[in-house]
């Protein structure tokens, strides 16, 4: 280094990783330099003077993952998971809670969940004033038209524009059997007034009034007229007969028409993910735009995560095993959800962006995944988060079941540390 022309200083250098950034069509061995919590430079053999260096050889260095669908209103909803377990300790630097809070309960969500979390937490506020409170079985009580106020929802969205990024509502047989499209129409009106997208649950969830049950193939045609470009349909590969694919074995034309209109599709993994439907949809060119996990506890218990056996990273690995291209999958965790959130500071490794990074390592082994229809697929490798970098700070994800640990031995190893809300000491690499 020439004393007259010193190398530019940086706080952290991620050295020689496979840098994979769909926003820049980048896939190359390169360094990532970080200064003051921002991306300073990206490129091969950067000439910088770092305070700390982490060698990334063999690792996949991506923009920080964004989980567009979690349930993290812990203790207020019966099924909410700890925000940081769904976030940084699962490989995601940003998470979006879908509908756990309503306009009346959003203040508590901000004060006790979003503000204290180390993870960057956002919200799609429920069309229901009270939020979710209890799982889908209480839907008819909580989500009825009497619990809807567009004015209150628009107000909270305008008061918290960086945190409230959309509206959660439902377009499934239970809601339609009770109220038709009344609640959905209200959500549509509020979304247009606040200029934010809808995130619409699809696939039967609430109890159904059998005498007014809609034909499964009629559900999507009932829902779509109330959507606008940029709205998101959840659970694109759901096994439910009234889901996006419907009861048949081919992709209906209306699905392609929705895509042509600018409607987006989220994986919304959850409990109804079907390998069969994922294959059929992907073969027809219908890829999930985003890879939300829908992590949540048992709807019928309180703070019970014993049945939770899927994760953001698990969804990624399953889709790769089913044939989704890596670039499509990583875009669904970075570029695409950042666009939905309308936040140009995340979802990319462009110079000046927030230094939010997810680093994945490849692990060899023999794992099996089981879907909602009891089909099994086996994989010999999987991607697992090695570190996350949040605003320039590298963090080792704490062991928990949401890092795709599906084998019994791994479950046993992590059981004592699973889903704790007790503040943890920061685990950093530098």
Q: Is 267 a domain residue?
A: yes
Cα–Cα dist 355/314, whole Å:
24
Per-range mean pLDDT, top range of 270-279, 361-370, 415-424: 270-279
Q: Is 280 a domain residue?
A: yes
CATH code where residue 277 lies: 3.20.20.140
- Average pLDDT on 33-41 reads 98
Assign 3-class secondary structure to 199-231: EEECCCCCCCCHHHCCCHHHHHHHHHHHCCCCC
Q: Assess whether pLDDT exceeds 80 at residue 426.
A: no
Q: Predicted confidence band at 401 (pLDDT cuts at 50, 70, 90)?
A: low
Cα–Cα dist 80/100, whole Å:
8
Q: Which domain holds residue 200?
A: 63-341
* CA-based nearest residue to 181, from 145, 152, 153, 149: 145
- Average pLDDT on 161-188 reads 97
Q: Is 135 a domain residue?
A: yes
Q: Is 125 a domain residue?
A: yes
Q: Assess whether pLDDT exceeds 60 at residue 412.
A: no
Cα–Cα dist 246/284, whole Å:
14
Q: Is 311 a domain residue?
A: yes
**What is the number of structural domains in the chain?**
1
Q: Is 181 a domain residue?
A: yes
321-350 pLDDT, tens digit per residue, is: 999 999 999 999 999 999 999 999 999 999
Tell me the angle at which helices 150-159 and 182-194 cross, rounded to the nearest 10 degrees.
Answer: 30
- Average pLDDT on 358-370 reads 92
- Give the predicted TM-score (pTM) of the model: 0.93
Name every residue whose Cβ is closer than 8 Å to that of residue 25 and which is 6 or more positions away in sequence. Answer: none
Q: Is 165 a domain residue?
A: yes
Q: Assess whether pLDDT exceeds 80 at residue 86.
A: yes
> How confident is the model at residue 90, as a pLDDT?
94
Q: Is 357 a domain residue?
A: no
233-246 pLDDT, tens digit per residue, is: 999 999 999 999 99
- Average pLDDT on 29-34 reads 98
Tokens, residue 339:
């666009």
252-304 pLDDT, tens digit per residue, is: 999 999 999 999 999 999 999 999 999 999 999 999 999 999 999 888 888 88
Q: Assess whether pLDDT exceeds 80 at residue 425.
A: no
């Amino acid at each position: 280094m020439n004393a007259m022309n010193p190398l530019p200083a940086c706080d952290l250098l991620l050295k020689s990783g496979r840098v994979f950034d769909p926003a820049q069509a980048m896939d190359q061995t390169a360094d990532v330099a970080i200064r003051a919590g921002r991306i300073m430079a990206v490129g091969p053999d950067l000439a910088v003077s770092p305070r700390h260096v982490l060698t990334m050889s063999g690792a996949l260095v991506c923009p920080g993952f964004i989980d567009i669908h979690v349930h993290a209103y812990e203790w207020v909803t019966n099924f909410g998971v700890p925000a940081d377990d769904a976030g940084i300790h699962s490989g995601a630097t940003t998470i979006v809670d879908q509908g756990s809070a309503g306009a009346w309960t959003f203040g508590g969500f901000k004060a006790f969940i979003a503000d204290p979390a180390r993870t960057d937490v956002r919200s799609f506020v429920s069309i229901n004033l009270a939020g979710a409170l209890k799982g889908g079985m209480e839907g008819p009580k909580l989500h009825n038209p009497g619990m809807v106020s567009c004015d209150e929802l628009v107000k909270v969205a305008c008061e918290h524009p960086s945190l409230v990024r959309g509206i959660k509502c439902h377009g499934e047989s239970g809601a339609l059997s009770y109220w038709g499209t009344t609640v959905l129409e209200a959500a549509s009106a509020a979304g247009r007034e606040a200029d934010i997208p809808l995130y619409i649950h699809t696939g039967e969830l609430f109890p159904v009034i059998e005498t007014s049950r809609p034909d499964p193939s009629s559900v999507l045609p009932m829902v779509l007229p109330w959507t606008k470009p940029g709205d998101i349909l959840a659970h694109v590969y759901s096994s439910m007969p009234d889901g996006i694919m419907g009861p048949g074995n081919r992709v209906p034309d209306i699905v392609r028409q929705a895509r042509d209109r600018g409607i987006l599709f989220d994986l919304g993994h959850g409990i109804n993910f079907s390998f069969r439907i994922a294959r059929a949809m992907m073969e027809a060119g219908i890829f999930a735009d985003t890879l939300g996990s829908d992590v949540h506890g048992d709807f019928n218990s309180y703070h019970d995560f014993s049945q939770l056996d899927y994760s953001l990273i698990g969804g990624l690995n399953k889709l790769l095993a089913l044939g989704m291209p890596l670039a499509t999958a990583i875009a669904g965790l970075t570029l695409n959800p950042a666009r939905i959130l309308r936040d140009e500071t995340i979802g990319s490794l462009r110079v000046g962006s927030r230094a939010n990074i997810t680093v994945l390592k490849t692990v060899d082994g023999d794992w099996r995944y089981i879907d909602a229809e009891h089909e099994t697929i086996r994989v010999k490798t999987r991607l697992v988060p090695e570190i996350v970098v949040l605003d320039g700070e590298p963090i080792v994800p704490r062991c928990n079941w949401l890092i795709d640990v599906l084998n019994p031995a791994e479950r046993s190893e992590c059981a004592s540390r699973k889903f704790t809300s007790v503040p943890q000491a920061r685990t950093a690499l530098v």
